[in-house]
Amino acid sequence: MANQFNGGTNGSAISDRDFTIIAKGTQILEGTLNSKNDIRIDGDFQGTVKTEAKLVLGDSSSVKADISCAEIDIYGKCECDKLVAHLVTLRTSSSFKGSIVAVELLIERGAVFNGSSQVVSEEEYNKLVGGEKKVVIPQPRPTPAPSVTTNNPVVNN
The answer for residues whose C-beta is within 8 angstroms of residue 7's C-beta and 6 or more apart is: 13
Cβ–Cβ under 8 Å, residues 108 and 122: no
Please state whether the predicted TM-score (pTM) of the whole model is above 0.75: no
Q: How would you write the pLDDT of the chain (157 residues) with one tens digit per residue?
A: 344 444 444 455 545 567 889 999 999 989 999 999 999 999 999 999 999 999 999 999 999 999 999 999 999 999 999 999 999 999 999 999 999 999 999 999 999 999 999 999 999 988 888 754 444 444 444 555 554 444 555 555 5
Cβ–Cβ under 8 Å, residues 119 and 105: yes
DSSP type of residue 126: H
- Whole-angstrom CA distances from 88 to 5, 97, 147, 148 are 18, 13, 41, 44
Strand partners, 118: 101
Backbone φ and ψ for 42, nearest 5 degrees, come out as -115, -5
